[in-house]
Structure 1
């Protein structure tokens, strides 16, 4: 007996329905991944800033705020909290004495790596439950979701 491909739920057949379903589903997945965080004492903003610094290296507070789409005063508070915990350090900008650069400390980089490994391990365990066809669909969807997240 041949099995047909699963049909999408009726609510996802329109753009509005798909948008609603994606919003709920992606939000739920994001919450599940947040529960896997290594250090839940960091705020989500602090974690995001630390990850951005780990990915991009030294940034000015303004550049970091821009990456994270937040106001500079809010980013200053986040940097201060991370610095107090020894996860980032500030240094003088080499060409502009009015500016500072922020970068993760070795402890900050280690925390980001532990967090990344823990979340990816959780997600890998969940992916192992899927069929090869479902994984193939997710591979294609990941590219599209990434493109949606950039706009």
Structure 2
């Protein structure tokens, strides 16, 4: 298999895995993505969230509005620009995100234990640093 075929197979398989895992989510993809960005990267504006997610400002604003209504995020005046707000996850938002992450990990972990034998699990574990390096390279870090 040449590099292009390997890349295409990897893209298809990882994409399918991600879609399958997300299908088990109980939160909308937008809500979990926004909470994830805020949890990992700290406070962001709605415009920054839209840029990171690759969606329109209106789409990000709707998701933020829903998260505010559910008390999963809070808005604070931007210290450098009074027209903007910085969004922070609330404890309820962090708890909800942690619950969603646990659910995903439990579901995927059960599948790993059902489908893969011990040697295959070790192979999968050994591949994680490689996938991490690829991801970091593609993200420019």
TM-score under structure 1 length normalisation: 0.76
- Structure 2, unmatched stretches of 5+, are none
Q: Residue 101 of structure 2 aligns with which residue?
A: 116
**CA distance in structure 2 between the aligned counterparts of 1:128 and 1:115, rounded to whole angstroms:** 20
Q: Residue 33 of structure 1 aligns with which residue?
A: 21
Larger radius of gyration, structure 1 or 2? 1
Q: CA deviation digits over 1:51-107, x for unaligned, max 9? A: 111222322223323332334343223212222232212111234323211012222
Find the residue that maps to 2:128 and give its secondary structure.
Answer: helix
**CA distance in structure 2 between the aligned counterparts of 1:61 and 1:33, rounded to whole angstroms:** 26
Q: Residue 125 of structure 2 aligns with which residue?
A: 139
Q: Residue 36 of structure 2 aligns with which residue?
A: 51
Q: Residue 107 of structure 1 aligns with which residue?
A: 92
What is the alpha-carbon root mean square deviation over aligned residues? 2.1
**CA distance in structure 2 between the aligned counterparts of 1:143 and 1:118, rounded to whole angstroms:** 23
**CA distance in structure 1 between the aligned counterparts of 2:51 and 2:125, rounded to whole angstroms:** 29
Kindly indicate whether residue 67 of structure 2 is the aligned counterpart of residue 82 of structure 1. yes
Find the residue that maps to 1:128 and give its secondary structure.
Answer: helix
Find the residue that maps to 1:103 and give its secondary structure.
Answer: strand
**CA distance in structure 2 between the aligned counterparts of 1:147 and 1:73, rounded to whole angstroms:** 34
**Are the equivalent residues in 2 in contact too, given 1:38–1:114 (CA < 8 A)?**
no
- Structure 1, unmatched stretches of 5+, are 1-12
Aligned residues: 136
